[in-house]
Amino acid sequence: MWCNSYFKKLNSLCLFLLFVAVSFADAAPTDWHSELPHAKPVGQGELRWFGLSIYTAILWSEHRPFEPQSPFALQLTYHRHITKERFVNTSLEEIKRLSGQRFTADKLREWEMLMSQAFPDVDDGDQLIGIFIPYRGCRFYDKNGLRTEIDDLEFAQVFFAIWLDPRSKDSDLRNHLLGIVR
């Protein structure tokens, strides 16, 4: 009799664990394409610095024309080694430049820590893909799948503004990403 009770509890536990596993699988896809299954490239461009190719960027969206408040992906394919520290510092400098005094030093330090956890060192051929999630934040992927999710909409907006804001440092790259080639 105790055996029946034991197997019922074991069966219930297995069902619960299966439910939890399926719930987590739905919450965080491992492939960025599954988040935007109908996305197509809006545009692409290359960041060059003193004639050196740094990365190729592709903006993906399911909407035409591009709607910045809808889900989208920014895919960066690197052409050289860049440390995560350099990536984080450059991103933080651009966020500060674009937002001025809008954010406190504490908020900027928080975002610096989030980016330090999200981004690895990259080498030639490595890809990082950022997914903008409206009303929520963003996710970052690499060749191994999901790296991290950041539930901070304000961060997601200012991070992607580095490439998409009209005041972007590289307006030519921005125009290519948005399909506004002049």
Residues 132-172: tens digit of each pLDDT: 999 999 999 999 999 999 999 999 999 999 999 999 999 99
Region for 148 from its dihedrals, namely left if φ exceeds 0, alpha if ψ lies in -120 to 50, beta otherwise: beta
Chain center to CA of 145:
11
Q: How far apart are the first and last CA of the chain?
A: 79
Residue 126 in contact with residue 78, Cβ under 8 Å?
A: yes
CA nearest to 137, candidates 163, 166, 114: 114
CA nearest to 79, candidates 104, 106, 111, 46: 46
Residues 106-134: tens digit of each pLDDT: 999 999 999 999 999 999 999 999 999 99
Q: Rounded distance, CA 105 to CA 10, Å?
A: 51
Quick one: pLDDT at residue 11? 44
Looking up tokens 């399911």, which residue turns up? 62
Helix-helix angle 84-99:105-118, to 10 degrees: 150
Tally of CA atoms within 13 A in the half-sphere of 131 that contains its CB: 26
Residues 67-81: tens digit of each pLDDT: 999 999 999 999 999
